[in-house]
Structure 1
Amino acid sequence: MENGSSSAVVVVLPPTQLNDEEEEIKIFYDKRSFESLEQSAATLLLILSIFWGILIARVLTHNLLWLKFSIEYALIIVPGVLLVTVASDYSPHFVAVMIVLSACFIFASKALNRAQNRMHFDLGGNRPTMFTLVRALTHLITAICILAIDFNSFYRPYRKTRRFGAQLMDTGIGLFVITMGLVSRRSTNNAELQRQLFYSMPLLLLGLARTVSIVMIGYSQDEHEYGQHLNAFFTLGLAKLIGSLLSRLARKDIQLLPMAISLLVVHQLGLSLGLSDYVMNDELPRSTFLAANREGLISLPGFVAIYLLSIYFSRWLLVSSSSTLLTYTQIVNKLKRLLYLVIINWIMVICSAYAFGISRVTCNLGYVIWIFAIMSTMLWLSLFAVDFIINSVLPLDPMRLTDANDAEEQGTLLSNAKTKAPGNEPFIICQSLNMNGLIYFILANVLTGGVNIFFEPEERSDEASVLILLIYMLLATKFVHNLYIRGIRLA
């Protein structure tokens, strides 16, 4: 089915049930429940494949002073490009091998015993390593896919779905909103609110610039994603803006939870009562602004709910101790609670796939739960694999670590007093993307446009497409890496 669109069942009611003896046609779209669950499993396997590349790079680059970027590029980005193109069938095999190797590493290194004997576990303050990794994964996968999809070598089942489905590219906007919320805080006063609103402005301006440029150059945009005029930048900016305004109404972080759930329930109720069909019906004209942009506007409450939930989730995850230094008992309890949440989320994904379906285009309840299931899974794996296992076997030298989080908060150059060897800390690519994520995303979009204009990607062979993708990712990633090692944060 083209673009993963859902089939529709047309029911014609008998004339006795109709007004003025006219036939009334009502459309019920297939939720593709079981197929969506299969797609979500394939998506998770692909994300895990790239994630394990990050873990391997952490182990192999321990105590290295040089070549960290090259090794991480070879272990993270090269497999990422291959697995969405010519090697798309091998994600399950790659994950299986990595699980076996991970088990061997844990057993051979006696990692569990080492962890138990540690005095404390440093999660890294308000920006723990697990947040850094999941944010970087989101940026990397999105950057790869926005260009790869233009090549014939791209694995077509990873494309965005038109109505219901859970493909790899459906995760993009949802994961971006979550990662944006994970590093945000509830606005507790007007000054903080103004700051959050200020940070949403660049996204809205970028959305406007993209819309104007598309109209001027006559570039076609898939109106089934966000509508004729809206785009992902508008969704991100509006979700942050509206979410920040709503968070100001909460007096405590815990109040964000019922607020977000109430918004999500009302949103799903509206979708079930007809808004979902209104968004998905291709036959309806786009004669007004609302009709022309119904995908982006009607999905917005769901993304705002994701933003509020992710702020609460971040606070819930970090609130268990007043210090960033956790004892063995504390981190084990944190891992247990997070694992329980992961299991509950995936059970809810299965239930919601059959009850509501999973739809990115409307950001329905099923989509929100699915996105949180992916995010909670990756956070648990990051916490367990990096903070609990690898750092117990290969402890980091604190004198070599750069306090990038402080620089990100302040928006200034890194302090020389806080770093001994800039660029020598672990996860150098992930750190680079976190410091200048917006610049990276903009640069990836600009390079994608250039490739489309000058290289005619639809005419390239598989080999040529992989080569172009590798060069494209090298240029974008190396640019933000150079900014990072110089301590420069732009956006």
Structure 2
Amino acid sequence: MTGVGSPWDTGRSAMIGGDARNRPAQKCQLPASAGSAAREAEADGSRVVWRVQRESGGPAHVDCLLGAPAPFGAREVGVQWRDLGSLLPSTSGLKQSSASAWRVAGIRVETGFHHVDQAGLELLTSGDPPTSASQSARITGRKMSEKQMKEAFVSNLNGTTVLEITQGLCFPAFCILCRGFLIIFSQYLCSFSHTWKTRFFIDFVVLIVPMVATLTIWASFILLELLGVIIFGAGLLYQIYRRRTCYARLPFLKILEKFLNISLESECIPAISCFRVITSAFTAIAILAVDFPLFPRRFAKTELYGTGAMDFGVGGFVFGSAMVCLEVRRRKYMEGSKLRYFTNSLYSVWPLVFLGIGRLAIIKSIGYQEHLTEYGVHWNFFFTIIVVKLITPLLLIIFPLNKSWIIALSITILYQLALDFTSLKRLILYGTDGSGTRVGLLNANREGIISTLGYVAIHMAGVQTGLYMHKNRSHIKDLIKVACFLLLAAISLFISLYVVQVNVEAVSRRMANLAFCIWIVASSLILLSSLLLGDIILSFAKFLINGALVPCSWKLIQSPVTNKKHSESLVPEAERMEPSLCLITALNRKQLIFFLLSNITTGLINLMVDTLHSSTLWALFVVNLYMFSNCLIVYVLYLQDKTIQFW
């Protein structure tokens, strides 16, 4: 009897006859050859991962599933064999796997704080998050160092559901909409004066603080938060409509008709700016919060298969950068000599090389904790961006810019075929010798090097999306059509994701496979369509209030069709002349500085604070203070027009 988990629910518990935490302890039986001391394990609500190795072949992986995430399904006895060494399909159960002799190599608990040999083991009941790191760190063998404990704390995780991540992405989009309503309501209906300090405070409280809470203490109530912010926004919009200063005597349908004839203008597309800010802020929060127990383990990066919230962060960063790359914003940049174009692309990556090598040197010199299966021994995300920025110009020299989606689709399909029908997957998981070696540059960094193919595909998809978004669309009706198209595209991709996960392979950030690329693009389009919807609603609210000014939003221009004498701006001249003083604009334009600052302060906090044993209140205070400091520094640098721009 086999229970197969839904591909949409790869991070949820595959319960064997109900919730394991409310049942008697389950027993996982290994074959007799595993050794009598480690043959039998009891756990009550714990996830046990047995790492085993065939005596006659390469390594294999066994999940002893006791109320734990099970993307491949759970067996009647609560165990599933997954031979990743030979990459064969699952067997029918433990009883049929006795043909091969197995040797126990170790055991880990979900919180990752055990490394026990055959002499004995102790399993703990693991919650999400654990009550304390010390409780999870109880071991019967040798004691692990703090560095090893921190590495184990973020290892062997299976993620959460696609639906939960999608809900979490839509939440900050509606927070930004409520921010716009609050600015209109406070400044124009309550005569509240806005300075750069008050604008920073509003942006931080309305956008950053809710994101911190969503990724920590409110993680189990994402749907309720989403519904709450929608209701709150609807109430603010109703109050603005009641107190409107324009078309006060006209009925709603007449006002809507006039609104649909409005034209728009902006220096940049607000939805793209907000997308980049959300992904940057989300990543900054997660890279620090993940080291604290209050951060749900299901949101952390997945080990092999699954969808973690942090997995979207890296993909979303690449997608967002692609939408505003020079090839998209300045089509003339690609005109002229192809050699000159490629030379300029090479020149633009040298600072990233410096940053990547600098990060590597610092990490190795101070003995900072690392998750080797994320990128490898020496590789980091800076190197991934470098490779992406070197490969994509070559592709755009050969293929037309407006065919980027074909390039993205071709790369992902060919890459997935290589994973399925060649030894490429085995190379990523176990190295050239099949035993997990890290000897040699390729073996040491195999995950980071090979997964760049997936990120190249994501970048090309972002280029195509950016081209579509940057088309000359100066009318509110055009904006509505764009939002609807992106929403339909996202829905189609989610359907494709379901089909791929059922018939091909589950999402894997480690390999950046086909399912991962589809998931990243689909989630990005959902976020973009949500932001565009918010832009349209916010523009309607501005249309109701004479002279409404909201930073990082569309400026409304009276259409010549409705006013034949002249085309008139509906916003004061001050908005055209003054810079947009808001945190969103600052984070968008200083994204690199914010990213570097977040990495540096994360490292410093980890060196100074015992994150594993921090209480919930202390951890929440540290994360909020960390975000406040980083945002304030970037905001002040933006006001002083200090910048670092490499691409």
For Structure 1 versus Structure 2, the TM-score category normalised by the shorter chain is: 0.7 to 0.9
Q: Secondary structure at the match of 2:83?
A: strand
Instruction: Report the structure, 1 or 2, having the larger helix content.
Output: 1
**Aligned partner (choices 420, 433, 436) of residue 284 of structure 1:** 436
Q: Per-residue CA shift, 1:288-316, capped at 9, x if unaligned?
A: 21111110011111111111121112112
Correspondence list, 1:62-461, <5 A: 62=184, 63=187, 65-66=194-195, 67-103=198-234, 109=241, 114-118=255-259, 119-122=261-264, 124=266, 127-186=268-327, 187-189=334-336, 190=338, 191-250=340-399, 252-273=400-421, 274-281=423-430, 283-319=435-471, 323-328=472-477, 330-354=478-502, 355-386=504-535, 388-395=536-543, 420-424=577-581, 428-461=582-615
Q: Deviations over 1:307-329 (max 9, x none)?
A: 1121112112333xxx341252x
TM-score by length of 1: 0.84
Please say if residues 111 and 390 of structure 1, whose CA atoms lie closer than 8 Å, have aligned partners that are also in contact: no
| 1:30-49 paired onto structure 2 within 5 Å | 39-49=161-171
Q: Quick one: structure 1 residues 90 and 243, their matched pair in 2 at CA, closer, same or farther if it must change by over 3 Å?
A: same
SS class of match (2:373)? coil
Measured after TM superposition, the shift of residue 224 of structure 1 is: 0.4
Tell me the distance in 1 between the aligned counterparts of 2:307 and 2:388. 21
Q: What's the counterpart of residue 642 of structure 2? A: 488
Distance 1:400 1:134, change over 3 A: closer
Measure the CA separation in 1 of the matches of 2:411 and 2:459: 11
Give the partner amino acid of 1:89: S
Structure 2 counterpart SS, 1:224: helix
Contact 1:181 1:308 in 2 (8 A): yes
Q: Is the Cα–Cα contact under 8 Å of residues 150 and 457 in structure 1 kept in the other structure?
A: yes
Residues 113 and 469 of structure 1: is their aligned pair in 2 closer, same or farther, counting only changes over 3 Å?
A: farther
Kept after mapping to 2: 8 A contact 1:182/1:313? yes
Residues 60-107 of structure 1: per-residue CA shift (max 9 Å, x gap): 123452211101111111111122122211211111223334455667
Distance 1:205 1:112 in 2: 58
| Correspondence 1:2-17 to 2 at 5 A | 9-10=82-83
Letter of the 2:266 partner, please give it.
Answer: G
Which residue identity is paired with 1:370? W
Structure 2 residue matching 1:347: 3-state secondary structure = helix
Query: SS of the residue aligned with 1:122?
Result: strand
Residue 29 of structure 1: aligned partner: none
Q: Distance in 1 between matches of 2:628 and 2:182?
A: 20
Kindly indicate whether the alpha-carbon contact (under 8 Å) linking 1:342 and 1:373 is maintained by their aligned counterparts in 2. Answer: yes
Deviation at 1:195? 3.2
8 A contact 1:161–1:167 mirrored in 2: yes
Structure 1 residues 38 and 453: alpha-carbon distance in aligned structure 2, compared to 1, 3 A threshold: closer
Question: Post-superposition shift, 1:400?
Answer: 8.4
Contact 1:153 1:462 in 2 (8 A): yes
Letter in 1 for 2:269: P
Structure 1 residues 294 and 8: alpha-carbon distance in aligned structure 2, compared to 1, 3 A threshold: farther
Shift of 1:263: 1.7
Q: Which residue of 2 aligns with 1:53?
A: 175
In the TM superposition, residue 116 of structure 1 has moved relative to its aligned partner by 3.7
CA distance in 1: counterparts of 2:575 and 2:612, whole angstroms: 48
CA contact (8 A) 1:106 1:112 kept: no
Q: Deviations over 1:410-467 (max 9, x none)?
A: xxxxxxx99644454xxx2221111110110110111111111112222221101101
**Separation of aligned partners in 2, 1:159 and 1:239:** 24
Contact 1:122–1:326 (CA under 8 A) maintained in structure 2: yes
> Distance in 2 between the 1:37 and 1:211 partners?
27
Deviation at 1:40, TM superposition (A): 1.4
Relative to structure 1, the CA distance from residue 332 to residue 80 in structure 2 (aligned partners, 3 Å threshold; closer, same or farther) is closer
Q: TM-score, normalised by structure 2?
A: 0.65
How far the C-alpha of 1:193 sits from its partner, in A, is 3.4
Deviation per CA, 1:46-66: give whole Å up to 9, x if none.
222222222211211234522
Q: Tell me if the contact between 2:484 and 2:529 (Cα under 8 Å) persists in the aligned partners.
A: no
User: What is the distance in 1 between the residues matched to 2:387 and 2:412?
Assistant: 16
Q: Distance in 1 between matches of 2:356 and 2:207?
A: 30
C-alpha root-mean-square deviation of aligned residues, in Å? 3.1
SS in 1 for 2:375: coil
Of all paired residues, the percent bearing the same amino acid is 25
Encode CA deviations 1:187-223: one digit per residue, 9 max, x unaligned: 4444443333333222222111111112222223111
Larger relative contact order (Cα-Cα within 8 Å, sequence gap ≥ 6): 1
SS of structure 1 residue aligned to 2:82: strand
Cα distance in structure 1, aligned partners of 2:287 and 2:326: 29
Preserved contact between residue 211 and residue 229 of structure 1 (Cα < 8 Å): yes
Deviation of 1:358 (Å): 0.6
Aligned amino acid, residue 194 of structure 2: L
Which segment drifts farther, 97-106 or 388-397? 97-106
Q: 1:100 to 1:224 in 2, by over 3 A?
A: same
Unaligned runs of 5+ in 2: 1-46, 50-68, 72-79, 89-98, 103-156, 188-192, 242-250, 328-333, 554-573
**1-structure distance, mates of 2:447, 2:252:** 48
Q: What runs of 5+ residues in structure 1 fail to find an aligned partner? A: 14-21, 26-34, 404-416
Q: Deviations over 1:259-285 (max 9, x none)?
A: 222222111111112322432349421
Count of residues paired in the alignment: 453
Structure-1 separation of matches of 2:175 and 2:480: 25
Compute the displacement of 1:233 (Å): 1.0
User: The residue matched to 2:510 in structure 1 has which SS?
Assistant: coil
CA distance in 2, matches of 1:219, 1:60: 43
Contact 1:401 1:420 in 2 (8 A): no
Q: Are 2:586 and 2:634, in contact at CA under 8 Å, matched by a contact in 1?
A: yes
User: 2:376–2:444: 8 Å Cα contact kept in structure 1?
Assistant: yes
Taking the aligned partners of 1:58 and 1:183, their CA distance within structure 2 comes to: 24
Contact 1:165 1:359 in 2 (8 A): yes
Q: Which of structures 1 and 2 has the bigger CA Rg? A: 2
1:207 to 1:441, Cα distance in 2 relative to 1, 3 A: same
Q: Which amino acid aligns with 1:303?
A: Y
Structure 2 counterpart of 1:41, one-letter code = L
